[in-house]
Structure 1
Amino acid sequence: MRRGIAAAVLAAAIAVSASACGSGGSGGSSAKAAGPVTITWWDTSDATNEAPTYQALVADFEKANPDITVKYVNVPFADAQTKFQTAAGSKGAPDVLRSDVGWTPGFAKAGYLVPLDGTPAAADTSAFEKQLITQASYSGHLYGVPLVTDTLGLMYNKALFAKAGITTAPTSWDQLKADSALVKQKDGVDGFDFNAASYYAMPFLYGEGTDMVDATAQKITLSSPAAVKGINTIKDLLASPGVGKLDTTANAYASMMDRFESGQVAMIVQGPWETTNVYKGTAFSDKTNLGIAPVPAGSTGKSGAPIGGHNLVAYAGSDAAHQAASEKFIAFMTSAQSQQTIATKNATLPTRSDAYTPAVTANPGIAGFQTILGAGVPRPPLAEYSSIYGLFNTELLKILAGQESTQAGMDNATTATRKLLPGFATQ
């Protein structure tokens, strides 16, 4: 997996959502393609480490479906959202797109996607993790089928824990703070590093029972007492013994990962996309030394982490024959067999329970993150939600750097968010 994935995660989170009138209808075309048809698929996976697996699956699909040809195009993830929006607006978008989960609601609202309810693409949805189907839906309809998923968890160094006399992963932020001080005292290294970005701050909001918005109640909750308390928990951690100092430089993420991989810090909050890199580190030449646990809970006693990943979506501007072929292709690529192949080759997490075979869970990183997927929190079906990450991120960095108070910063984030969601009240 590429080291730049975390930057891509944040870039996807802060990208401006598509906006326009919503699409109508209750489902896509399930008509059979009449004669040979060629569909175009834009794959946004890493061109070097992940794309070959998808290209091989395309070849398998074409062998099984000789009347359908798939034109495979690898589009850099950082450019894909804008490229698709531009292409869809001019009726030239690909038939199928590997869409970040954060893009799906915006594309659906803009009318760029065809609903997949009742089509062959959605025939197997009961096998998928429920929250992933929720996250692939918008305005009561399914607009994507989950292809890969991820969430944040607590990664920890078991050897450093054992040396410090720590027997289990911390289950609360207070416990993590105490364990960090103990690691510093016993091991001489830091206990915890925090990646100062809004996506990585979400567990602190969830732990206080809140989010950036309450989509159901149509409220912006960034200024709420619960959200302020969550951010103050981060500030308290950063000021604690054994916790790495705040780093907002361009190299902050890479530095954090290097420190963890070399055993200079015992704990980080991270996603499964980094497990392959972690195993290359000197501290984890023995893969069993990597511990994976749910992110610690806040004062509510509950733990939560954002769910990421990618859906396969179908372009609403395609004709019936191309939509039918696209639905068939999406069903194939998201099948249990295909997901097993993707997981074993690319070390990514499947989105359906029947894909977690012994061969897949033989990868300890996948097995570890599978156990914590249940703590994942799906994003609300709100087209503008991903854009709020950027507004939140701007103020979060100022708050943590001491340039403004927590309340003032969260109030500023709320004011900026109100421009995106003028019909929402504030809390």
Structure 2
Amino acid sequence: MTQYRSKKRFFLACASLLALQIGLAEAASANTVLHGLFMSQAGYSEADVRAMTAAYVKMHPDVTVDLEFVPYESLHDKILLSKGSANGYDVVLYDVIWPAEFATKHILQDVSDRITPDMKSGIEPGAWTTVTYKDREYGLPWLLDSKFLYYNKAILAKAGITAVPTTWPEVIADSKIIKDKGILQYPIAWSWSQAEALICDYAVLLNAYGGQFVDSAGAPAFQTGGGLDALTFMVDSLKSGVSNPHSTEYLEEDVRRVFSAGQAAFALNWSYMWALANNNPKESKIVGQVGVEPAPGVPGKSTISSVNGAMGLGIPTASKNAAAAWDYITYLTSQKVEDAYTADAIPMWKSSFEEPALMNGPLGPMAKAMETTQTQLFPRPFVPNYPQFSAALQTNIQQSLLGKAEPAAALKAAADTITGD
């Protein structure tokens, strides 16, 4: 009898242990796992995103977020290739130039019905073009950005220039003064390598000269008018010797290094350059000497110029955790979170620009420039074949910058390539 009771207790203990294990397994399986794809450079750092995510998971212990970081150059193809994967992503960071393609190919979910009135009214209006295609939203904007005019205060003072130029012709005129006085051989640095960076710089000048990438029917419109004026300006700045000839090899980081070394009086670059060039002595020889303003305009055409360089956070159509993914995205893009990480990126919420800690702090000049620029972030074209569109324009603009084709011929060749003529 005693032996029977011992066996019974043994079996009961085993059954209880098995039940506990099953219960733990069920609890584990109830945990939501989100797979997120992010960029490993610029904007919020990897450490920032991991810290934001850790804070979110702490508030949502039933959620696990698996993060993957890749270079910008890999982001587009990673998102595309994940569509047919059984273990794809739930949240992806994507560039402003991709929503048309991702919408038409059904890569991203339409989240228009999830967006609240408070989001619509609270986020800077220019930021919405980042995630919108044909009046539908495919995520929430993040990493609000444009290109700005940076200038070296010490060089301008040495040249006797007392007012910061507010038009592109004034930038050229001031650069000629600096060059003629022997202060710098090449006063302006640009990102004109044959890459997307070139299209971004061209977009700023296209905007300044009142041009458009495409017409209302989506056909190329850059080959005449403001588009031709913009490329002519670029070519002339090289011919006159005020623009660094190595600009045709430079990306944004090259421009940052040249400017931060004191080898340029003016530079066009994204907002990230401000903190590194003006506030970081490990990265810059001109700390405290940097000024930043919205990119200039052209008399009779514009007062300022810009390019939308923001990114968005979206949910792939293959995600099985859309509700949890949306909750995570709304946390990352919330004003509270963005206001806590202004060292790396300017918030996209209107009321953030009313915060003294931002406007009067180390990022104040950058934030003031962004506050003005965000009202008219100029978009690159909303076309499903954007990679091909951009490649054709890059190739032919570069030919003109290198003196191998006249501006009009180069832009016509680009337009003909895009239209298939």
Shorter-normalised TM range? 0.7 to 0.9
The answer for the alignment partner of 1:407 in structure 2 is 408
Residue 88 of structure 1 deviates from its aligned partner by 0.7
The number of residues matched between the two structures is 379
SS in structure 2 at match of 1:171? coil
Contact (CA 8 Å) 1:160, 1:187: kept in 2 or not? Answer: no
Which of 158-167 and 184-193 deviates more? 184-193
Residues 9-49 of structure 1, C-alpha deviations (whole Å, 9 max, x = no match): xxxxxxxxxxxxxxxxxxxxxxxxx9542221112233998
Contact (CA 8 Å) 1:152, 1:295: kept in 2 or not? Answer: yes
Residues 154-189 of structure 1, C-alpha deviations (whole Å, 9 max, x = no match): 100112112222222212222111101112234621
The answer for the alignment partner of 2:20 in structure 1 is none
1:371-390 equivalences under 5 Å are: 371=371, 372-390=373-391
The answer for the alignment partner of 1:270 in structure 2 is 269
The answer for the alignment partner of 1:113 in structure 2 is 108
- What amino acid does structure 1 have at the position aligned with 2:170? Q
Residue 241 of structure 1 deviates from its aligned partner by 5.1
* Distance in 2 separating the partners of 1:201 and 1:325: 39
Residue 206 of structure 1 deviates from its aligned partner by 1.4
Change (3 A) 1:394 1:95: same
- What amino acid does structure 2 have at the position aligned with 1:351? M
1:276-287 equivalences under 5 Å are: 276-279=275-278, 280=281, 281-286=283-288
Residue 246 of structure 1 deviates from its aligned partner by 5.0
SS in structure 2 at match of 1:317? coil
Which of 394-403 and 82-91 deviates more? 82-91
Which of 188, 191, 196 aligns to 1:195? It is 191
Structure 1 unpaired stretches of 5+: 1-33, 423-427
The answer for the alignment partner of 1:219 in structure 2 is 219
* Distance in 1 separating the partners of 2:284 and 2:156: 16
- What amino acid does structure 2 have at the position aligned with 1:367? A
The answer for the alignment partner of 2:322 in structure 1 is 323
* Distance in 2 separating the partners of 1:238 and 1:326: 48
Residues 314-366 of structure 1, C-alpha deviations (whole Å, 9 max, x = no match): 122223xx11111111111110011112323xx21222223343333423363
The answer for the alignment partner of 1:27 in structure 2 is none
- What amino acid does structure 1 have at the position aligned with 2:50? Q
Which of 136-145 and 364-373 deviates more? 364-373
- What amino acid does structure 1 have at the position aligned with 2:187? G
SS in structure 1 at match of 2:262? coil
Residue 99 (structure 1) aligned with residue 98 (structure 2): no
Residues 267-323 of structure 1, C-alpha deviations (whole Å, 9 max, x = no match): 01111122233234554222xx2111122223543132211122110122223xx11
* Distance in 2 separating the partners of 1:103 and 1:247: 26
Change (3 A) 1:314 1:294: same
Question: Structure 1 vs Structure 2: percent identity of aligned residues?
Answer: 23
Residues 49-100 of structure 1, C-alpha deviations (whole Å, 9 max, x = no match): 8111111111111122233222222233221211111111345420111112
1:287-366 equivalences under 5 Å are: 289-298=289-298, 300-302=300-302, 303-319=304-320, 322-344=321-343, 347-356=344-353, 357-361=355-359, 362-364=361-363, 366=366
Structure that is richer in helix per residue = 2
Contact (CA 8 Å) 1:136, 1:311: kept in 2 or not? Answer: yes
- What amino acid does structure 1 have at the position aligned with 2:262? G
* Distance in 2 separating the partners of 1:283 and 1:404: 38
Which of 149-158 and 62-71 deviates more? 62-71
1:76-225 equivalences under 5 Å are: 76-119=71-114, 124-186=119-181, 188-189=183-184, 190-196=186-192, 197-214=198-215, 216-225=216-225
* Distance in 1 separating the partners of 2:127 and 2:43: 27
SS in structure 1 at match of 2:51? helix
Normalising by structure 1, we get a TM-score of: 0.81
Contact (CA 8 Å) 2:189, 2:247: kept in 1 or not? Answer: no
Question: Taking CA–CA contacts closer than 8 Å with sequence separation of 6 or more, which of the two structures ends up with the larger relative contact order?
Answer: 1
Which of 55, 78, 84 aligns to 1:60? It is 55
- What amino acid does structure 1 have at the position aligned with 2:345? T
Change (3 A) 1:390 1:283: same
Residues 188-233 of structure 1, C-alpha deviations (whole Å, 9 max, x = no match): 213322332232122221122112212x333311222332122111
Residue 380 of structure 1 deviates from its aligned partner by 4.3
Normalising by structure 2, we get a TM-score of: 0.82
RMSD in angstroms over aligned alpha carbons? 2.6
Change (3 A) 1:123 1:325: farther
Choose 1 or 2 for highest CA Rg: 2
Change (3 A) 1:192 1:56: same
Structure 2 unpaired stretches of 5+: 1-28, 193-197
Contact (CA 8 Å) 2:218, 2:383: kept in 1 or not? Answer: no
Change (3 A) 1:203 1:376: same
SS in structure 2 at match of 1:63? helix
* Distance in 2 separating the partners of 1:122 and 1:112: 25
Contact (CA 8 Å) 1:148, 1:349: kept in 2 or not? Answer: yes
* Distance in 2 separating the partners of 1:359 and 1:69: 33
